[in-house]
Amino acid sequence: MSTSNPTRRGLLKTGAIASAGLAVPTIFTASSAAAFTNEPTGSTVTLGFNVPQTGAYADEGADELRAYELAVEHLNGGGDGGMMSTFSSQALNGAGILGKQVQFVTGDTQTKSDAARASARSMIEKDEAVMITGGSSSGVAIAVQGLCQEAGVIFMAGLTHSNDTTGKDKKANGFRHFFNGYMSAAALAPVLADRYGTDRNAYHLTADYTWGWTQEESIAAATEALGWNTVDKVRTPLASTDFSSYIAPVLNSGADVLVLNHYGGNMVNSLTNAVQFGLRDRIVNDKQFEIVVPLYSRLMARGAGANVAGILGSTNWHWSLQDAGSQAFVRSFGTKYGFPPSQAAHTVYCQTLLYADAVQRAGSFHPCAVAEALEGFDFDGLGNGPTHYRADDHQCFKDVLVVRGKENPENEFDLLEVVEVTPRAQVEYAADHPMFAGGALGECNGG
Amino acid sequence: MDAILLQILNGLDKGSAYALIALGLTLIFGTLGVVNFAHGALFMIGAFCAVTLQRILSLSFETIDESRTDFLGNPLKVETPYVEAWFGPDVGMAIIDWSVPLAIFFAIPVMITIGFIMERGLIKHFYKRPHADQILVTFGLAIVLQEIVKYFFGANPIPTPAPDVFRGSFDFGVLLGFDPYAIAYPYWRLVYFFFSVTIIGAVFAFLQFTTFGMVVRAGMADRETVGLLGINIDRRFTIMFGIAAAVAGLAGVMYAPINSPNYHMGMDFLVLSFVVVVVGGMGSLPGAVLAGFMLGILESISSMNEVKAIFPGIDQIIIYLVAILILLTRPRGLMGRKGVMED
């Protein structure tokens, strides 16, 4: 007959083991209870939209949320169907996804990685979201992508432009429709060389975080390959608001081009400061001084006002495109909200349709089945021409738009004009390109 | 040399903003003894006074232009500002163009009213509470004010340009014998510097040469004795809170064309302005102004590439480094008075 003799040490040990077990989030232990994380069992399926609802990118987040709501409406058979009618894959039929009514929950990323992970975790654990999508910053996207990989759900990235998202930080459960820094540079550099010549001296001001670094590396490499000289690369803290002390050294640097690797409020302020200091009125090295903004956003161009006039940059999509997909989306979005959609709205709308379509084609919500359906998928009709979701890194390859700030805008939305549609072939790169090296896609995690 | 001169000029306008905000902070601290973390929000509200007046002056009526279409293919709605319809296109456009300078007259009553409401409605209940409580409540108030502004104006910066006549930059380079445009400085930043000096001078003159100012200075030195003389010092201090709010607001109005206003701009200045107050000496008005300009110039010079090549990242820490050095050598700050915050 055995007897148990409880001791203080034993009790502590048992307690510690039990606590550790309880502390492991349910999303990492759910596999035993279901086939995969948050397998939808009823008549509905829940998607998690994780966007900045507060903080500096709240306006972009609001536009993303509008597009998500529109996509859900269209998936459930409401409205005019938007781009579902122009999408080359006709798997979606307006009856939800695999016959399940689509519902959604939202989270606030606050454009902070920790807050974004917390809201994504909450949507996965409490709301049983089977897919997470969103983000308006590469730092946030990379953080949430990592969480989704661990949790075993698909992550459809929103507005994230860093090479790292599908480079060294790529994950098997993560997919990006938006373009990246390398593609911006590959599209923009030939236009810059064509307009401003090949004998130029460029000075870079760069936001000091993952997106800024990869953007700077990409645009410097692409312009140097065409004969430009890089005079200096200066990193500016993300929290900077007044860039005058960074702009002033440009005046005496011998540079005749200023490249602003800035986004959001940084871009608005640095561009405004540069124009105030008369850079665009200067003649340096017998050439007109020029400013370049590699990544444009209409919402940000609005903040910079007339200062964007004539300045070249790139964008993922623009509402003025005349293809059937773009027109259907603009009509649908514009009728519902009264103004044209931004590129952020476009990319998240596409991502939602692409996820739903992949589930429909795979016949399952299982993340690994969805991933397989998305890998190597070729499609058209979503506003960017023929597009390919590469299996090697889960990056979409499509045409890139080179745009210029409009000189005489006719209204508050008419801020950018497309000067060139750079063909997809020109912005493609090998999956093992040095700028994207250092990470592995890994194995799909179904939870 | 030209690069240093340029950074000194840069520091002057940055210092102007620090000095104006720190001046208001010191006025409130010196009179009411309150550490007001909502002061940055007052600067931000001032900038949004400029945005608001610009929007009021741009209020428009719609007409349909059948010959043109909007992005959905519908007949285009053309908006014409009322001021253009009332005063003619040239005068109307000029009024809108000058909305930022005009916003000075709009902001003064608005900011004084906000200052009164803040002081009477909330802050007066915290006079006898510890400084930690004051910091918490005013910081909370700053967040509330930020969120209110964001609700009405959105999160993105709103362009609020200076009048056309002040666009472009002044070429100091040619004036000082350097190459053309070696030292180019934006006209509006020069305006901002001279405006700040004028406001600072006006506040000092008000305190120095008026009976009201004399009583306030006496109250700052010894509140109890002034009270014993039968003077209602509380009422005067409330008025000073309103004036401090107006100073912060005017600093914000004129700053709007320098950086497009956004709801968070007050917080960006707040922490640095507190460092300025501490370096200048708690409760010292000349100290706040001196430290504002000094730290503004040092911050600018430290962001020169030549300086950063020797001390990487120095531009991010210079203000705090100087603050530590000054507080180690002069614990009361540059011009601090004995007995302030020492009980």
For residues A218 and A171, state if they share a domain: no
Residues from chain B contacting residue A300 (CB–CB below 8 Å): 156
B106 C-beta neighbours (distance < 10 Å), count: 18
Q: Are B305 and A278 an interchain contact pair (Cβ–Cβ within 8 Å)?
A: no
Q: Are A278 and B150 an interchain contact pair (Cβ–Cβ within 8 Å)?
A: no
For residues A208 and A163, state if they share a domain: no
Q: Are B72 and A334 an interchain contact pair (Cβ–Cβ within 8 Å)?
A: yes
Q: Are A268 and B157 an interchain contact pair (Cβ–Cβ within 8 Å)?
A: yes
Average pLDDT over chain B, rounded to whole?
A: 88
B198 and B247 in contact (C-beta within 8 Å)? no
Q: How far, in whole angstroms, is CA A43 from its chain's centroid?
A: 31
Nearest-5° angle of CA A289, CA A237, CA A177? 80
Q: Which of residues 262-291 of B touch A (CB under 8 A)?
A: 262, 264-265, 268
Average pLDDT over chain A, rounded to whole?
A: 90
CATH of the domain at A264: 3.40.50.2300
For residues A265 and A117, state if they share a domain: no
Alpha-helical segments (H) within A56-131? 58-75, 113-125
Q: Are A340 and B71 an interchain contact pair (Cβ–Cβ within 8 Å)?
A: yes
Q: Are A252 and B3 an interchain contact pair (Cβ–Cβ within 8 Å)?
A: yes
Band (pLDDT 50/70/90 cuts) for residue B339 is low
Q: Is B188 on the interface with A (CB under 8 A)?
A: yes
A159 and A178 in contact (C-beta within 8 Å)? yes
Q: Is B303 on the interface with A (CB under 8 A)?
A: yes
Q: Is A57 on the interface with B (CB under 8 A)?
A: yes
Q: Mean pLDDT highest for which of A393-397, B65-69, B148-152, B215-219?
A: A393-397
Pick B1 or B103 by higher pLDDT: B103
Q: Are A273 and B305 an interchain contact pair (Cβ–Cβ within 8 Å)?
A: no
Query: What is the number of domains present in chain A?
Result: 2
pLDDT at A33 over 60: no
Cα B73 to Cα B89: distance, rounded to the nearest angstrom: 28
Q: Is A246 on the interface with B (CB under 8 A)?
A: yes
User: Which of A265, A276, A335 lies at the smallest CB-CB distance from B186?
Assistant: A276
A225 C-beta neighbours (distance < 10 Å), count: 13
For residues A167 and A75, state if they share a domain: yes
For residues A52 and A153, state if they share a domain: yes
Interacting residues of A179 by C-beta distance below 8 A, sequence separation 6+: A161, A314, A316, A396, A398, A400, A427
Q: Is A306 on the interface with B (CB under 8 A)?
A: yes
Minimal Cα distance from B183: which residue of A?
Answer: A251
- Looking at residue A183, what is its pLDDT? 97
β-bridge mates for residue A422, sequence order: A400
pLDDT at A336 over 50: yes
Cα B29 to Cα B36: distance, rounded to the nearest angstrom: 7
Q: Is B159 on the interface with A (CB under 8 A)?
A: yes
pLDDT at A245 over 80: yes
Q: Is A114 on the interface with B (CB under 8 A)?
A: no
- Looking at residue B341, what is its pLDDT? 55
The arithmetic mean of pLDDT across residues B271-299, rounded, is 88
For residues A215 and A277, state if they share a domain: yes
In a domain, A74, yes or no: yes
In a domain, A302, yes or no: yes
User: Which of B186, B265, B303 lies at the smallest CB-CB distance from A245?
Assistant: B303
Share of chain B above pLDDT 70, in %: 98
Express each pLDDT in A58-94 by its tens digit: 778 999 999 999 999 999 999 999 999 999 999 999 9
In a domain, A7, yes or no: no
Print the domain residue range for A133: 44-179+319-398
Residue with tokens 């903040």: A303
State how far residue B97 is from chain A, nearest Cα, in angstroms: 13
Residue with tokens 């008369």: A278
Q: Mean pLDDT highest for which of A2-6, A402-406, B150-154, B181-185?
A: A402-406
Express each pLDDT in B46-64 by its tens digit: 999 999 999 999 999 989 9
The arithmetic mean of pLDDT across residues A131-152, rounded, is 94
Cα A207 to Cα A216: distance, rounded to the nearest angstrom: 9
For residues A269 and A206, state if they share a domain: yes
Residues from chain B contacting residue A305 (CB–CB below 8 Å): 159, 161, 260
Q: Which of B309, B340, B314, B132 is nearest to B220 (CA)?
A: B340
For residues A328 and A386, state if they share a domain: yes
Q: Are A269 and B315 an interchain contact pair (Cβ–Cβ within 8 Å)?
A: no
End residue of a domain, out of A355, A380, A398:
A398
For residues A218 and A103, state if they share a domain: no
Express each pLDDT in A437-446 by its tens digit: 888 999 999 8
Cα A276 to Cα B162: distance, rounded to the nearest angstrom: 10
For residues A230 and A146, state if they share a domain: no
In a domain, A212, yes or no: yes
Q: Is A288 on the interface with B (CB under 8 A)?
A: no
Cα B42 to Cα B114: distance, rounded to the nearest angstrom: 9
For residues A199 and A308, state if they share a domain: yes
β-bridge mates for residue A205, sequence order: A234, A260
- Looking at residue A28, what is its pLDDT? 47
Residues from chain B contacting residue A241 (CB–CB below 8 Å): 259, 265, 268
- Looking at residue A56, what is its pLDDT? 66
The arithmetic mean of pLDDT across residues A342-359, rounded, is 97
A175 and A389 in contact (C-beta within 8 Å)? yes
The arithmetic mean of pLDDT across residues B113-123, rounded, is 91
Integer angstrom CA distances of residue B329 from A52, B2, B279, B286, B317: 45, 32, 11, 19, 18
Q: Are B305 and A330 an interchain contact pair (Cβ–Cβ within 8 Å)?
A: no
Structural domains for chain B? 2-329 (1.10.3470)
Express each pLDDT in A200-239 by its tens digit: 999 999 998 889 999 999 999 999 999 999 999 998 888 7
- Looking at residue A13, what is its pLDDT? 54
Q: Are B259 and A273 an interchain contact pair (Cβ–Cβ within 8 Å)?
A: yes
B343 C-beta neighbours (distance < 10 Å), count: 4
CB pairs under 8 A between A and B: 120
Q: Is B182 on the interface with A (CB under 8 A)?
A: yes
pLDDT at B343 over 60: no
Pick B112 or A277 by higher pLDDT: B112
In a domain, A35, yes or no: no
End residue of a domain, out of A380, A398, A416:
A398
Q: Give me the long-range contacts of B327-334 (CB less than 8 A, separation at least 24).
A: B327/B278, B327/B279, B332/B281, B332/B282, B333/B278, B333/B279, B333/B280, B333/B281, B333/B282, B333/B284, B333/B287, B333/B291, B334/B279, B334/B280, B334/B281, B334/B284, B334/B287, B334/B290, B334/B291
Minimal Cα distance from A59: which residue of B?
Answer: B155
In a domain, A9, yes or no: no
pLDDT at B108 over 90: yes
For residues A351 and A237, state if they share a domain: no
In a domain, A442, yes or no: no
CB burial of residue A284 (10 Å; 0-12, 13-18, 19+)? buried
Among left, alpha and beta (phi > 0; psi -120 to 50; other), residue B88 is left
End residue of a domain, out of A294, A315, A336:
A315
User: Which of A58, A273, A331 lies at the smallest CB-CB distance from B72?
Assistant: A331
Cα B24 to Cα B17: distance, rounded to the nearest angstrom: 11
Q: Which of residues 382-411 of A touch B (CB under 8 A)?
A: 410-411
The arithmetic mean of pLDDT across residues A37-51, rounded, is 95
Minimal Cα distance from A275: which residue of B?
Answer: B168
The arithmetic mean of pLDDT across residues B12-20, rounded, is 88
Report ipTM for this prediction.
0.80
- Looking at residue A381, what is its pLDDT? 97
In a domain, A254, yes or no: yes
Q: Are A269 and B13 an interchain contact pair (Cβ–Cβ within 8 Å)?
A: no
Please give the structure tokens belonging to residue B20.
């104006």
State how far residue B3 is from chain A, nearest Cα, in angstroms: 7
Band (pLDDT 50/70/90 cuts) for residue A26 is very low
Q: Is B6 on the interface with A (CB under 8 A)?
A: yes
